[in-house]
């Protein structure tokens, strides 16, 4: 099957099936009967708004004679009456495609080919132009931990900027089709970078509603509400989960008390669910105590999970559980804390549990008036240290003095 080169895509073509009864399997069989290599569209939108994938975007379609080498095609099931759910899905698909092929023109089949067909039986181009504004595409992270690279060459060099966690919502900015990368902007802290397309779920036209978040450093997802059940995944602090219907029906306790049933990314066999301890979703007020649970976790530049974490991620993740959303990196965090009502602490003042100390490019947490906790490359882990002993080394390593902030929570 001929490849479809991304730089050649000049048209995004809207079709209709000319029948309300057809589904993607019917279209596939019909197109096979034409002697084609299966369904000719890249996307098919069912009557309930469900989007079914047809040909991969890197294959030429079979939907517009003479234009298949320069177009992507989406087909609405129906003849001349399409419902709101279908138009919503059409907006999502076209917004996603336009984010990657910004110069491509949105047209109907009838408008791109010399044909007697009236498909899709409305002026697709005029309809698109009538929208108030293009709808942004959003998506959720489906990998347990997803590396985010500051540039699209980062995968080859291993230079991750940060990590995204399961269930986090991102806004899709652009795609790099050849390398299967997506440029995203995080909803949590507006961090921009490139992620593997395989780690991001289906896009939608609005941000996903806030979901319960894991409040343990790490939790095992099991196939049943039993510690002896097979493990399905490991979710990290800050991962956002969606409760299964059974959990909602039982006030969040799932089918068995002490466990909660959550949805997992769908497989070819359909939706999957798993179970986690209900306590893993309880609110945390002692964010410093939570940070202490990370002691001895390995240090990882750009890491943001119990499997590997850096200094600013430790502060960001734990403070976020206490309801304070702060930026990702230590420099931006320090700038954030310059604003009232956060209090500056002079060096000769007694330090308290929960005070945060900043150096250029580094941040640590005070456990009491003597000890600090920080993820650092010197110990290659999250380490507890005597502050008086650590200060000279950190002053030399960062080439800067320490500033202490007392967050207002």
How large is the angle between the packed helices 330-337 and 311-321, nearest 10 degrees? 50
Domain ranges, ordered by start, for the chain: 6-130, 138-199, 218-281, 287-406
Known catalytic residue at 306: no
Select from 3.90.1720.10, 3.90.226.10, 1.10.1660.10, 3.40.430.10 the CATH code of 287-406.
3.90.1720.10
Identify the DSSP state of 347.
Answer: T
Q: Active site includes 15?
A: yes
Query: Does the annotation mark 63 as catalytic?
Result: no
To the query of whether residue 185 is one of the catalytic residues in this protein, the response is no
Residue with the two structure tokens 């890249």: 42
Q: Which CATH class is domain 6-130?
A: alpha beta
Cβ atoms of 345 and 351 within 8 Å: the answer is: yes
Nearest to 403 by CA among 351, 367, 353: 351
Name 309's bridge partners: 299, 304
**CATH: 2.30.30, 2.30.29, 3.40.720, 1.10.1060. Which one for 218-281?**
2.30.30
Strand ranges of the sheet holding 231-236, from the earlier edge strand across to the other edge: 231-236, 218-222, 270-277, 259-267
Backbone phi, psi, residue 98, to 5°: -65, -30
User: Does the active-site annotation cover 117?
Assistant: yes
From the candidates 11, 15, 43, 46, give the one annotated as an active-site residue. 15
How far is residue 295's CA from residue 280's CA, in Å, rounded to a whole number?
A: 19
Which three-class secondary structure state does DSSP give residue 89?
helix
Choose, from 65, 117, 344, 379, the residue flagged as catalytic.
117
The CATH topology of domain 138-199 is SH3 type barrels. (2.30.30)
Average pLDDT by consecutive 10-residue portion of the chain (409 residues)? 83 88 80 82 89 85 89 91 88 79 87 84 88 67 93 69 94 68 87 88 64 94 94 96 68 63 71 91 94 98 97 97 92 87 79 95 96 97 96 94 90
Backbone φ, ψ for residue 240 (5° rounding): -105, 130
Q: Which of 109, 351, 362, 374 is labelled catalytic? A: 109
Instruction: Catalytic residue, from 119, 146, 311, 366: name it.
Output: 119
Q: Which of 11, 16, 41, 366 is catalytic?
A: 41
Question: Is the fold of 138-199 the same as that of 218-281?
Answer: yes
Query: For residue 102, what are its two tokens?
Result: 């910004």
């Amino acid at each position: 099957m001929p490849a479809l080169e991304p730089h050649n895509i000049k048209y995004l073509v809207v079709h209709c099936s000319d029948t309300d009864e057809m589904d993607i399997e019917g279209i596939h069989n019909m197109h096979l009967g034409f002697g084609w290599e299966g369904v000719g569209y890249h996307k098919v939108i069912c009557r309930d708004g469900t989007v079914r994938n047809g040909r991969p975007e890197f294959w030429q379609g079979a939907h517009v004679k003479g234009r298949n080498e320069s177009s992507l095609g989406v087909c609405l099931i129906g003849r001349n009456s399409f419902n709101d759910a279908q138009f919503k899905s059409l907006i999502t698909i076209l917004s996603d495609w336009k984010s990657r092929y910004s110069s491509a023109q949105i047209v109907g089949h009838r408008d791109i080919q010399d044909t007697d067909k009236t498909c899709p039986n409305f002026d697709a181009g005029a309809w698109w132009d009538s929208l108030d504004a293009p709808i942004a595409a959003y998506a959720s992270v489906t990998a347990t931990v997803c590396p985010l690279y500051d540039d699209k060459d980062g995968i080859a060099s291993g230079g991750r900027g940060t990590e995204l966690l399961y269930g986090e919502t991102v806004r899709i900015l652009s795609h790099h089709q050849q390398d299967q990368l997506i440029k995203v902007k995080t909803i949590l802290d507006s961090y921009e970078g490139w992620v593997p397309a395989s780690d991001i779920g289906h896009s939608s036209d609005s941000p996903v509603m806030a979901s319960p978040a894991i409040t343990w450093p790490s939790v095992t997802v099991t196939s049943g509400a039993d510690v002896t059940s097979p493990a399905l995944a490991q979710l990290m602090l800050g991962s956002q989960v969606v409760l299964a219907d059974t959990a909602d029906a039982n006030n969040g306790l799932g089918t068995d008390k002490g466990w909660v049933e959550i949805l997992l990314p769908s497989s070819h066999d359909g939706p999957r669910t798993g179970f986690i301890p209900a306590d893993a979703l309880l609110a945390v007020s002692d964010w410093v105590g939570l940070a202490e649970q990370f002691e001895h976790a390995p240090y990882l530049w750009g890491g943001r999970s119990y499997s590997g974490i850096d200094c600013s991620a430790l502060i960001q993740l734990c403070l976020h559980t206490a309801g304070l959303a702060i930026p990702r990196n230590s420099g931006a965090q320090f700038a954030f804390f310059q604003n009232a009502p956060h209090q500056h602490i002079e060096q000769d003042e007694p330090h308290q549990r929960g005070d945060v100390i900043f150096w250029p490019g580094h941040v640590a947490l005070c456990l009491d008036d003597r000890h600090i906790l920080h993820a650092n490359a010197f110990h290659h882990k999250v380490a507890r240290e005597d502050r008086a002993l650590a200060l000279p080394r950190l002053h030399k390593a960062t080439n800067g003095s320490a500033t202490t902030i007392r967050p207002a929570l």
